[in-house]
Amino acid sequence: MSTEQQTLEELAKRVGIVLLYHGTFSSPPVALAKGLHNVTPGLLFRQLETLSRYFRFLPLDEYCMALDRTGLAAVTADDGYRCITDEALGVFEALQIPLTIFVNRAFMDGGIFWRDKIRFIINTSRVAEFEHRYSDKFFRNPDQPFYRYTKDPRNNSRVVESALDDFLTEIELPADLQRIYTPTSAGLLAHPLLSYGSHSLNHYVMASLNEADQWREIDENWRFLNNLPEIQKTSIFSVPFGGNGDYNAETIRLAMNAGHSGLLLSEGVVEPGAHSGFEVLPTYQRVMLRGDEMATTLLRADKRGRQAESSD
């Protein structure tokens, strides 16, 4: 038995995992090549096929309802890139693994994800030009690069996107950036392995917004999904960015008021198997896999989870 096999076997005896994917492009758009979390369909197959030998994959809602998640797993994808269904659905069909996709209506209605605008500026070497014109408008620690400080909760995401749009007014964006999200006109694919959830309207950092703007982000997107009766849905809310500082008490309260049953986070943590009970609005953690080093990534996630548990 290899070291990886032994590690995965041992992990499956004590934890559950929720995986997070974003892009599954065979070849990502050049404008997003650097900075986008992308796993090709071939690598996706290898990751999921390997993990399925040790973990039992369930729909996200079934995973979250389990009192003991030891040896269980679920798969999620954020941001609604159409490559998920166009290029990677065959992987899930071949392995018979369910997937929950969290979407943002603003991108489906023809908008471009503001983080993809950030990636475009980085990949076309325009960061210095942007900062010359706008950086004095934003909070920034000396060690924060452009990619990081533009999503710092102390910088209102709406204001950041407004500056991005102003900067990009005279720059022709690549046509393929307009076509990488599932469009509302095409509809969300009804499929027995697929369910959908809300990832907010514009994917803004929730903690950077006032209460009214947070409510619009949460409520409007969730109502949009609820008006699509033909698809399977989860009431769990995927918090944009999903870090500890990316949401606040208002986010939790407003998500509850909108009818969400839990918060999905993205802190690179695997969950302990057994659970003694649930909070008023439970939270669930996820891990991003990038390459073939699954065992190493999951071991680190397990260590973070145990450290967090011991500090509670």
Among 119, 181, 115, 123, CA closest to 151: 115
Confirm whether 12 is domain-assigned.
yes
pLDDT tens column, 207-238: 999 999 999 999 999 999 999 999 999 999 99
What is the arithmetic mean of pLDDT over 248-274? 93
Enter the tokens of residue 269. Answer: 């943590």
Rounded to whole angstroms, what are the CA distances from 246 to 45, 153, 177?
A: 31, 6, 26
Q: What is the pLDDT of residue 151?
A: 97
Q: What is the pLDDT of residue 149?
A: 97
Residue 202 has pLDDT above 80, yes or no: yes
Domain at 10, CATH number: 3.20.20.370
Domain shared by 282 and 149, yes or no = no
CA–CA distance, 193 with 93 (Å, rounded to integer): 8
pLDDT tens column, 155-193: 999 999 999 999 999 898 888 887 899 998 888 999 999
Domain shared by 100 and 132, yes or no = no
Confirm whether 22 is domain-assigned.
yes
Q: What is the pLDDT of residue 214?
A: 98
Domain shared by 265 and 133, yes or no = no
**Domain count for the chain:** 2
pTM for the full model?
Answer: 0.95
Confirm whether 177 is domain-assigned.
no
60 contacts 233 by C-beta, under 8 angstroms:
no
pLDDT tens column, 278-298: 567 999 999 999 887 888 999
Q: What is the pLDDT of residue 24?
A: 97
194 contacts 232 by C-beta, under 8 angstroms:
yes
Confirm whether 222 is domain-assigned.
yes
Domain shared by 299 and 189, yes or no = yes
Q: How confident is the model at residue 2 (pLDDT cuts 50, 70, 90)?
A: confident
Q: How confident is the model at residue 272 (pLDDT cuts 50, 70, 90)?
A: confident
Domain shared by 159 and 284, yes or no = no
Domain shared by 161 and 256, yes or no = no
- Would you put residue 125 in left (φ > 0), alpha (ψ -120 to 50) or beta? left
For residue 153, the enclosing domain spans 116-168
- Residue 211: its H or E element: helix 211-226
Domain shared by 207 and 303, yes or no = yes
Residue 312 has pLDDT above 60, yes or no: no
Domain shared by 162 and 187, yes or no = no
Q: What is the pLDDT of residue 294?
A: 86
Q: How confident is the model at residue 275 (pLDDT cuts 50, 70, 90)?
A: low
Q: What is the pLDDT of residue 278?
A: 52
Residue 153 has pLDDT above 70, yes or no: yes
Burial class (CB in 10 A: 0-12, 13-18, 19+), 3: exposed
Domain shared by 121 and 107, yes or no = no
Domain shared by 93 and 215, yes or no = yes
Domain shared by 190 and 242, yes or no = yes
Confirm whether 66 is domain-assigned.
yes
pLDDT tens column, 67-122: 999 999 999 999 999 999 999 999 999 999 999 999 999 999 999 999 999 999 99
Q: What is the pLDDT of residue 195?
A: 98
pLDDT tens column, 6-19: 999 999 999 999 99
Domain shared by 198 and 256, yes or no = yes
DSSP letter for 100, please: E
